[in-house]
Amino acid sequence: MGLKGYVVKRPLDILTEEEVKRIHYGTLEVMAKTGVVFHHKKALEILGDAGCDVDREKELVRFPNYLVEESLRKCPRRVLLKGMTPEYDVAVGDPYVHFASCIAMDTLDLETMDRKIPTMQDHINMAKVLDYLDEVHLHYGQYVRAEGVADMCIHPQRFNITVKHALKPSITAGVFGNEVWLIKMAQVVGQNPAGHAQCSPPLTWSTDKIDCMLHYIDAGFPILPGTGLATGMTSPVTLAGALVQQQAEILSGIVLAQTVKPGIGVIVKGRIEPADMRTGMIAEGGVEKVIADAAWNQIWRWYQVPRWHTVVSTDSKVPDYQCGMEKALHFLLSALTGSNIIAGIGGVYDEITVSPVVAIMDNELARRIGKMIDGVNVNEETLAVDLINKVGPIPGQFLSTEHTRKLWKSELLIPALADRMGYSEWVGGGKKTSLDYAKEKYEEIIATYNPSPLSEDKEKAIDEIMEEARKFYKSKES
């Protein structure tokens, strides 16, 4: 039961065991010596009671090593995210790799490929496309804004759309407390979307992010403690140093969570981005980020805590060679090193734009990566020793054998979007590119895929919660 994703049989290491330990010990030293700021009265109290050294005036918490390691052991090895029905459940953790959508502000106009603010219909179309695609296992919402939707309503609004038009489970977020409405809706539909709470580097948790984490914990939903470092700006410029700092930020969140509710599900987010020292711009598609994520995967495999990555995206503004190259490299190394969720499907420009046609192309990318991870299937039948002996040298051939007829479909991946025709056929077919195929697929999905997972009662109930949220923020405006 459930959506399975891919199994990474032998994850790739990019650090030595010794290096993993040095990063870990470095982290423990930073946590014990400098500590992490929590702008949150209750969190300070909880952590003080748990055995941390708390400086209330500076709101600074120093963590004894034993407590950090104890908290790590309380994290479950797998986290089950519930879909609309059990066949859509996703078990996040080793040895599985799953794919999720990216999240961004805007969409791309399908004709001009220019950036534009999404409409509610764009949200619905994106939710449907993501739900349809076989290699997308989790929704991370569609866009972080929509024409005509009040800014503060966006997280509940986009979740409202996801559950109305999709069957797969979600990971979610919140800003300034708006997650409370989303949590209520999830309770109505019987899902447990994991909640993203992000530390502000260096070493600082803001009030609303701790509130957010506590809201999700309170609901009994898994949490996604994360951070987002810009190397040389908000963290050391070196990847090793950035890893040490990032670990300290995430682990401090885990200590809080496991103290509040021991055993609460945790999926950690790594995100180290190189800042380009010529301009200060953050390079989402930089290879440094790919390497950092690979190292992060290895460290958290060692801790045995599920992990994910978001904005596995590109700096390119359109689906071009740069876009394909940056995403392919990132998806592949993340999968090989054991990321449990790669949240990058649909991403084009940083976390500024996502596009459903890019999601369709990424689906193809994810399929190919899945095939690569599966690797070589070795057994008596596939080794084909008897067959080779039987066919022998030329004029022997394999095309007419039972073996080929039976096994070619499981051995060969038939691309859905790529061109493999001869030149004249390609010209005759209108010189289509993968983008053309993706656009055709998009039209087909929108026209034919219409799941309606919710009963009328439930739809009504979540719409009422949405309305409540709208009224709440409207009254705050005036």
Partner 1 sequence: MSNEILESLKKAVIEYNNEAATRWARKAVEEGVDPIKAVDALTKGIRQVGDGFSQGELWLPELVGAADAMKSAMPIIEEEIKRRGKKRETAGVIVLGTVKGDIHDIGKNLVATFLTIDGFNVIDLGVDVAAEKFIKAVKKHKADILALSALMTMTGQEQRKTIDALKKEGIKDKVKVMIGGGAITQGFADDIGADAYDPTAVGAVKLARRLTRK
**Site of interaction with partner 1 (CB under 8 A):** 105, 144-145, 151-152, 175-176, 200, 206, 230, 232-234, 275, 277-280, 282, 352
Residue 152: contacted member of partner 1, ligand B12, none (CB under 5 to 8 Å, by partner type): partner 1
Residue 271: both structure tokens together: 């995100």
- C-beta separation of 364 from 418 below 8 A: yes
Residue 22: contacted member of ligand B12, partner 1, none (CB under 5 to 8 Å, by partner type): none
Q: Kindly tell me which of 89 and 179 has the beta carbon lying closer to ligand B12.
A: 179
DSSP 421-440: S-HHHHHHTT---HHHHHHH
CA 143/CA 348 separation, integer angstroms: 13
Q: How many CB atoms lie within 10 A of CB 117?
A: 13
Residue 277: contacted member of partner 1, ligand B12, none (CB under 5 to 8 Å, by partner type): partner 1
Residue 278: both structure tokens together: 């010529």
Q: For the CB of residue 65, give the shortest distance to ligand B12 in the complex, in Å.
A: 26
- Give the interface with ligand B12 as residue ranges (CB under 6 A): 104-105, 144, 173, 175, 198, 200, 206, 209, 228, 230, 234, 280-282, 350-352
Residue 232: contacted member of ligand B12, partner 1, none (CB under 5 to 8 Å, by partner type): partner 1
Q: For the CB of residue 273, give the shortest distance to ligand B12 in the complex, in Å.
A: 7
CA 294/CA 131 separation, integer angstroms: 27
Q: Kindly tell me which of 314 and 434 has the beta carbon lying closer to ligand B12.
A: 314
Q: Kindly tell me which of 273 and 364 has the beta carbon lying closer to partner 1.
A: 273
Q: For the CB of residue 208, give the shortest distance to partner 1 in the complex, in Å.
A: 8
Rg (CA), the chain: 24
Q: For the CB of residue 87, give the shortest distance to ligand B12 in the complex, in Å.
A: 30
Q: Dmax over Cα atoms in the chain, in whole Å?
A: 85
Q: Kindly tell me which of 93 and 174 has the beta carbon lying closer to ligand B12.
A: 174
Closest by CA to 268, choosing from 330, 184, 352, 343, is 343
Q: For the CB of residue 438, give the shortest distance to partner 1 in the complex, in Å.
A: 28
- C-beta separation of 88 from 291 below 8 A: no
Residue 120: contacted member of ligand B12, partner 1, none (CB under 5 to 8 Å, by partner type): none
Q: For the CB of residue 150, give the shortest distance to ligand B12 in the complex, in Å.
A: 12
Residue 173: contacted member of partner 1, ligand B12, none (CB under 5 to 8 Å, by partner type): ligand B12
CA 113/CA 143 separation, integer angstroms: 16
CA 140/CA 8 separation, integer angstroms: 23
Residue 307: both structure tokens together: 């992990």
Q: Kindly tell me which of 89 and 362 has the beta carbon lying closer to ligand B12.
A: 362
Q: Kindly tell me which of 206 and 404 has the beta carbon lying closer to ligand B12.
A: 206
Q: Is 392 left (phi over 0), alpha (psi -120 to 50) or beta?
A: left
